[in-house]
Amino acid sequence: MSREIEASRYRANDGVEYLRVGMAEVEGVVEDMTKAGTRLADLFGSMEDEELVIRLVYGREPEPSYAVVQWPVRGGGYPPLSEVAPAAFVEECEIYEQFGLKCSGAKGLNRLVVPPHAAPDFPRLAHRPGRQAPPPHAPHYVTGEAIEFPVGPVRGVGQESLYMGLVTSGEELIDLYLMVWHKHRGIERRLQQLRPQQALFLVERAEGLSAVGNSWAFCRAVESITDVMVPEAVERTRAVALEFERIYNHAASLAALCQATSLTVGQAQAEVALEELLRLNAAAFGHRYLFGVLAPGGVTRGPDVGVIRERFTMAVDELRRVAAALRSTNSFMDRVEVCGVVSIDDARRLGLVGPVARGSGQDLDTRRDHPYGAYRDCRVEVPVRTAGDCLARMEVILAEVETSAALVTELVQAGLRAGSVDLPPAAGAALGWCESPRGESLVWVSLDREGRIRRARLRPASARNWRAFDDAARSRNVFTDIPIIEASFWLTVAGFAR
C-alpha cells in the first residue's frame, strides 16, 4: 500500500477505520483486501458537494473493526470491482441505476429497482450533472430445450410481491432470476432532509420484520455522529427487543418451512408458538412487531419485566416442542436435507451474512465480532454448520433460539430501563451495525450542520442474502424445492427493494 494511502488512514471514535484513496489506487486496495480474505460488506455511492463519492465497507473479522474505503469519482467510471470481488456486483448495478455511473468494462448489469417502463425522470438518488442515466438492462435469453416459467409478481397468500423467472427443461431448475422493482418505495431518497427522529419511522418500515435490527443500526450511526452515550440498562432493553425479534422471526421461518413442505400439523404448531411470541412482544413492549421501541439516543418504553418472567420461557418451550417433533419426522427431514445448497465458497465469495452464511460455514455474528451495546458484556455463542442446505440453516436458527433465550434471561437479570438521551446538534458521518434476525444490518448516515440527513444508506441483511438465492435454487433442485429454500432463507423483498 502506498505511503499516501497510509497517511489518509484515520480511526474514528466508533472503531471504524476510514481510508481515503484516489481513483487510481482503488483497484489495488480491493485486490489486497480480497486476497487477505477481508469480507466485503457493502458498496454504495453518495453525492457530496456535487461530487459522487463511493464507499466500500469491509468487515475485518476476527478483528473487531470495519474499514470504510472511500474515493471521489472523477471522470466517467470506476474499475470493475466485481471482477475481483463478486460480492460487489449487485451494488455496482445499484450505483448504475441510482447515479448513472457504470464501471469501466462492458459487462451487462442487472435491473434492480428501476422499473422497465420507468420514464427518464424516474426519481433516483442523483443524476450525474448533464447526463441522463440510460436504462439498465439485463440481457436474458432462454434457448434450446429450456423454457422460462414465470412466477409472480402477485404470489400466494401472505407472500410479498416478487417476480421469479424459473428457467427449466421440465422439472429440474436450470436457472432462476428475480425482479424486485415492484416494491421499490425509494426509502433512502425519502430519508434525505429528515431529522433522525423522524427518519426512524421509515427506517423501521423499510423491512418491518427486522424493525429493531435495522433501526438499532441506524440509531448507532446517529449516536456515533452526535457522540451520545446510551446508558447500559437502556442498551440492555434494546438487546432484549432485538432477541425477541430474532426468536419470533425464527419461529416464523420454521412455520414457513412446514408450510413449504406441506406439513400442516407442524405449521399449525409453529404458528401457535409464533402467535404466543408476538403476543409476548405486545405485552412486554406494546407492539407485536416491536415498532417504535427504539429511538435515537435510547428507547421509548421499557418492557414489562413481570410479563417476560411469566411468559417468555413458556412461549419458547412451545417452539422447542415443535422443533423436537420436526427433527423426528423423517418425511420432513428428507425434504430439507441436501436441498438448496449454498457452498462454503459461494457464501464467502458473495459476502453473505446471518443464518444463511452460518449454515454455510461462515463463522460471523456482529454481536460477537463487533460487540456493541449490551453485547460488550455478554458471551454470544455462534452456531455454525457447514452443509449449507436447508437443514443446516434450520439447525442454525434453532440453535440461535437457544442462545437468544439465554441472552434474554441474562439481560433481564442485569436490569432493564427505559429512557433516552437528547441528541445534541452535530454534523458528520458514521457507520452503524447490528445483528438483525437475518444477519448483519449496516446503516451509514451523514448529517448536515442542521442535523438533517444528507444521505442514509440502509443495507438490511436481506439486501445481501438474496444474491445467493439463485445459486441455492440451481443446485440440482426441482420446482417444489423453491418455496422450501425461500422459507429457509427467510428474507424479505421489502428489505431488498427498499
Partner 1 sequence: MQSLFGRSLHIRTIDTGSCAVCESEIRLLAAPHYDLHRLGFFFTPSPRHADLLLVTGPAVRAFDQAVKKTYLAMPEPKIVVAVGACPLGGVYSEDAFVHGSLEEVLPVDVFIPGCPPSPLALLQGLLVAVGRLAEKVDALSFVDDEAGTGEW
Using CB under 8 A, list all residues that contact partner 1. Answer: 115, 117-118, 121-123, 153-154, 156-161, 181-186, 190, 201-202, 204-209, 211, 252, 255, 268, 271-272, 274-275, 278, 288-289, 291, 492-495
Q: Scanning the structure block, which residue is given the C-alpha cell 469491509?
A: 58
Q: Which of 277, 374 has the CB closer to partner 1? A: 277
Q: Which is nearer to partner 1, 44 or 181 (CB)?
A: 181
Three-state DSSP at 421 gives coil
> Is the CB of 288 or the CB of 320 nearer to partner 1?
288
Smallest distance, partner 1 to C-beta of residue 492, A: 4
- What are the C-alpha distances in Å from 281 to residues 17, 246, 312, 331? 37, 12, 10, 33
The DSSP call for residue 337 is T
**In the chain, what's the furthest Cα-to-Cα distance?**
65
Q: Which of residues 142 and 272 has its CB atom nearest to partner 1 in the complex?
A: 272
CB atoms within 10 A of CB 197: 14
CA distance 473 to 119: 33
In the complex, minimum distance from the CB of residue 198 to partner 1, in angstroms, rounded to a whole number: 12
Instruction: Collect contacts of 103-107 with beta carbons under 8 A, ≥24 apart.
Output: 103/77, 103/78, 103/79, 104/77, 104/78, 104/79, 104/80, 105/80, 107/80, 107/82, 107/83
Q: How far is the CB of 82 from partner 1 (least distance, A)?
A: 26
Give the Cα separation of 296 and 196 in Å (integer).
7
Q: Which residue, 206 or 423, has its beta carbon nearer to partner 1?
A: 206
Cβ at position 166, least distance to partner 1 in Å: 17
Taking the least distance from each CB to partner 1, the nearer of 106 and 157 is: 157
Long-range contacts formed by 378-381: CB under 8 A, 24+ apart: 378/239, 378/407, 378/410, 378/411, 380/407, 381/406
For residue 259, the surrounding DSSP H or E stretch is helix 232-260
Instruction: Kindly tell me which of 39 and 438 has the beta carbon lying closer to partner 1.
Output: 438
Please report how close the Cβ of residue 182 comes to partner 1 at its closest, in angstroms. Answer: 5
Does residue 132 sit in helix, strand or coil? coil
List the grid coordinates of 399. 440453535
- Taking the complex as a whole, how short is the minimal distance between the CB of residue 278 and partner 1, in angstroms? 8
- 454 vs 416: CA distance, rounded Å: 34
Q: Which residues pair with residue 445 across a beta bridge? A: 430, 456
In the complex, least distance from residue 336 CB atom to partner 1, rounded to whole angstroms: 20
The residue (of 82 and 210) whose beta carbon lies closer to partner 1 is 210
Per the rule left: phi > 0, alpha: psi between -120 and 50, beta: everything else, 186 is left
Query: How many Å apart are CA 48 and CA 447, to the nearest integer?
Result: 11
CB of 259 to partner 1, least distance (A): 8
CB of 123 to partner 1, least distance (A): 5
Question: In the complex with partner 1, which residue's Cβ is closer, 202 or 257?
Answer: 202
Distance CA 422, CA 424 (A): 6
Q: Cβ of residue 486: shortest distance to partner 1, in angstroms?
A: 13
Please, how many CA atoms are within 13 Å of residue 415, restricted to the half-sphere of its CB?
4
Nearest residue (CB) to partner 1, 20 versus 321 = 321
Neighbours of 188 (CB within 10 A): 20
